[in-house]
Amino acid sequence: MKILLTHLYFLEEDKAEQKIMKPYPPMGLLYIAAFAEKNNIKTEIIDNTFSNKTEFKKQLNNLNPDVLGVYLNFKTRRNFIEISKYIRNNENLKNTKIIIGGPDVKYNAEKYILHNADIVVIGKAKKLLLIL
């Protein structure tokens, strides 16, 4: 099983952050990946901070993951809607399971399910990895 972990924050879309230029590593994704590795679950991580949606779509096609785990917040909600539509309309990716987590999903779980999320994780994702 191929598991890909990512976030959908693209610095090029954030003019305020471009002025500050203090981006940070995706610690939550790294924590999940470390837990997975410790339990012999192979994962890939894509940090999209310095990328763009076009490049990410290419990477998705190349990796063709069985499971896509996405960290979301309010700022990345629109990107999720676009990327999830792309996945569901792409013959190679349409069977990819989309699992989402992050601060925004707790309050908008139903909306995310309506926009192609298969599983919404509220709280820690460690137990879910062991089930997969």
Domain boundaries, the chain: 3-131
Distance CA 12, CA 62 (A): 23
User: Can you give the pLDDT at residue 132?
Assistant: 47
User: Can you give the pLDDT at residue 60?
Assistant: 97
Strand-by-strand arrangement of the 3-7 sheet: 43-46, 3-7, 67-71, 97-101, 119-120
Which residues, given as ranges, of the chain have pLDDT below 50? 130-132
User: Can you give the pLDDT at residue 130?
Assistant: 47
Q: Report if pTM > 0.75.
A: yes
User: Can you give the pLDDT at residue 12?
Assistant: 82
User: Can you give the pLDDT at residue 17?
Assistant: 63
Answer yes or no: CATH 3.40.50.2300 is held by domain 3-131.
yes
45, β-bridge pairs: 5
